[in-house]
Amino acid sequence: GNSVTQMEGPVTLSEEAFLTINCTYTATGYPSLFWYVQYPGEGLQLLLKATKADDKGSNKGFEATYRKETTSFHLEKGSVQVSDSAVYFCALSVDQAGTALIFGKGTTLSVSS
C-alpha cells in the first residue's frame, strides 16, 4: 500500500546548523509530495510541495526535491533558527482529486541558541 517513512527524531541542532530530515515513500502511480509543519498547540501548516518528479518545493528557506528514482523527498535548510523548532511531517497524495493525505509519523526538530 501507500506509505511514508520519516527519520526518527528528535533532531537537536544549534542555531545556524544545516538541517536534513529524510523522507521516503511507497506509492502507486505518481503521487504529489508535501511537507507540513506543526508548532506546539497548533494545527498543520503546509510548508512546501512538489507534484511531479524532479520538482523542487521551497518556502522560508526550506527545500525538498521530488526524487522518483530513490522515492525520496528529503527536507533541507541551510541555517536553522530557534523559531524552526516544531514537528515536521512528510505526506503524499495519490488521489488526483485530492481526497486524502497519507502522513509519516513526524520528526521533532529542536533548535537551541
Partner 1 sequence: ETGVTQSPTHLIKTRGQQVTLRCSSQSGHNTVSWYQQALGQGPQFIFQYYREEENGRGNFPPRFSGLQFPNYSSELNVNALELDDSALYLCASSLQGGHGYTFGSGTRLTVV
Q: Residue 31 interacts with partner 1 (CB under 8 A)?
A: no
Q: Residue 35 interacts with partner 1 (CB under 8 A)?
A: no
Task: Tell me the site size for partner 1, rule CB under 8 A.
Answer: 27
Query: Which range of residues in 11-19, 56-64, 66-74, 94-102 is near partner 1 by CB under 8 A?
Result: 94-102
CB 93 within 8 A of CB 32: yes
Amino acid of residue 30: Y
Query: Which range of residues in 11-19, 20-28, 69-77, 87-95 is near partner 1 by CB under 8 A?
Result: 87-95
CA distance 9 to 104: 12
Indicate the DSSP class of residue 53: T
CA distance 9 to 73: 17
Q: Residue 41 interacts with partner 1 (CB under 8 A)?
A: yes
Interface residue with partner 1, options 11, 13, 23, 32 (CB under 8 A): 32
Interface residue with partner 1, options 22, 24, 51, 72 (CB under 8 A): 51
Q: Say if strands 62-65 and 56-59 run parallel, antiparallel, or are unpaired.
A: antiparallel
CA distance 97 to 107: 27
Chain contacts with partner 1 (rule: CB under 8 A): 4, 32, 34, 36, 41-46, 49, 51, 89, 91, 93, 95-106
